[in-house]
Structure 1
């Protein structure tokens, strides 16, 4: 098994797992459906091609919250493309200035093809909605050793420089991980309806998926190392 890691960073992101009428919310971290959709678009898989979608949906998924961002709300207006009639006012939520590391584990050949597709995508990637383009290249690396847990723990902290600067006093940073549950973890796992079954425009379908949440501590490359201070050092020099 290999693991493909992605960097999901942009001015705005929106990862909706549910929508009720004109209220479109966002989860606090990317959904599996949203990330698989991003990969499917890069690979040129059409919305109604459920057979081509299945191998991607079978990949094991996890995400690390490197920079949680801020939730913002927008009132959205639109007009019908043919009649010009005004559409209902909708309320939409986004994550501003967020950064995530997503990881997918599975067949090495498939992940290698997806990694190449991200470098030359058929359709441009977006972070949950078409109005949310990434600000940095999405692909990070392809790990041939270790598994999903290792990749989410070992990948370098991807937070923005201004955000890392706020945490320079810490040599390590604690980050939240949301990862697809292993078989022995199901009793303590939560569920989310974001397992994609079909992206067909007229009948999108998703199934329940189990995931666990925990924290990892990783090295802070922006840590400011304080010089060691010994309050008795001056006294020792005098006595000498």
Structure 2
């Protein structure tokens, strides 16, 4: 039986393998609503949609657990600050004995237009310090899936670090809110159909969304 989850009957079929969803961000009100925290926002949107309470602390993370259909799901928001995200994510994956292909990391991405989403089965860190830390605590293994949430590039010569820690204006936040709801649908589909089919379906849709998003003001 999985640690922390009640026993269920699956009618003689193999129990579905759980997923761990990890949203990257920085803890505290100071960082709430900033571009760097959209990973946290996506976790919160999904938890609310499924009625999963994020009301415990586990492995240095705000943590929730439940089922989506018959699939066990663990939701995590590391409280270590972004640059040390692996200090929470690595121990969580180890605690539940999860293969890395069942650990989906949600993170902001400046290479994608604001509000555009991408599923990816593996990859590097792309200079994202949260991903760097996760990879380090996975002993250099990069073969874990990511849910990339586009926040757009800094305007002009703006310092990327300052850009990441800025809050969205009202119009941009509306766009992110729409992306969060789209993300919930993508994640539910992923749990039902798997990563490969989900990426094939939704990445194409999001590619065309890019043509609409890139012309909107920051």
Question: What is the TM-score with the length of structure 1 in the denominator?
Answer: 0.25
Q: Which has the higher helix share?
A: 2
Where relative contact order (Cα < 8 A, 6+ residues apart) is larger, the structure is: 1
Larger Rg belongs to: 1
Greater share of strand residues, 1 or 2?
A: 1
- TM-score (normalised: structure 2): 0.27
